[in-house]
Amino acid sequence: MKTRAALVVIALAASVVPISPAIVERRYSTGAYLALQAYLTAFSNRVPFSMFDVLLAVVLGGWVVTTMVDLRRYHWLRALVTIAARSIVLITASYLAFLVLWGLNYRRVPLAEKVQFDAAEVSASAARTLGRVAMERTNALYEPAHRSFLVDVHNSGQNDPRRPCPAGPSTRCSTSIFVARRLTG
């Protein structure tokens, strides 16, 4: 009981106590988070499904089962209090997990403070120019990045429109090759 109460107090404090963005940036975002994220990504990439979806299903399934057990075991008022207490602890634990796994990134130093830019230079014309340059550079990189894929597809005979394309389940290779050629010139 004391542990659950402490968990709720910690979550409440974490939600209202301000943390210096510089500390979050230095200790969490460019420190602990990078190490944690690299480990979790490497671990989760080993399975072909979303591990969060499984965790969510298990937690919600467990909550439903324990709720049903409480409703059968206890008088309705005690069951309601037990279910509410369990729900509060589950929500606070989820909130703390979110903070540790990602949420503290929202408390970082704002990007506008980290990046040097001249607000007078930001205009619709500058945005269009940036978009055009970014599109041209991206398109210039497309063919070299996909050249081996296109050659492999062409040489394998998979450019038959009746066969599925490795580019995706809902595309056909002949269409993909046409789009790639069209985008790159």
Residue 148 burial (10 A CB sphere; 0-12, 13-18, 19+): exposed
* 65-108 confidence digits (pLDDT tens): 999 999 999 999 999 999 999 999 999 999 999 999 999 999 99
User: Per the domain annotation, does 129 fall within a domain?
Assistant: no
What are the pLDDT tens digits along the chain (185 aa)? Answer: 799 999 999 999 999 999 999 999 999 999 999 999 988 888 888 888 899 999 999 999 999 999 999 999 999 999 999 999 999 999 999 999 999 999 999 999 888 888 887 778 788 888 899 999 999 999 988 887 776 555 554 555 544 544 445 545 544 444 444 344 444 44
Same domain, 101 and 14: yes
Whole-structure pTM value: 0.62
- Tell whether 74 and 155 lie within a shared domain: no
For residue 40, what are the domain limits?
A: 2-110
| Angle (CA) 74 79 80, round 5° | 155
Q: In the prediction, which pLDDT does 180 show?
A: 42
Query: HSE of 114 in the Cβ direction (CA atoms, 13 Å)?
Result: 8
Positive or negative, the CA dihedral 125, 126, 127, 131 is positive
Residue that terminates a domain, selected from 110, 127, 150: 110
Q: Return the closest-CA partner of residue 92 out of 152, 12, 173.
A: 12
Number of independent structural domains in the chain: 2
* Judgement on whether residues 21 and 90 belong to the same structural domain of the protein: yes
Question: What was the pLDDT predicted at 67?
Answer: 96
Claim to verify: residue 77 and residue 14 sit in the same structural domain: yes
Q: Which helix (H) or strand (E) holds 165?
A: strand 164-165
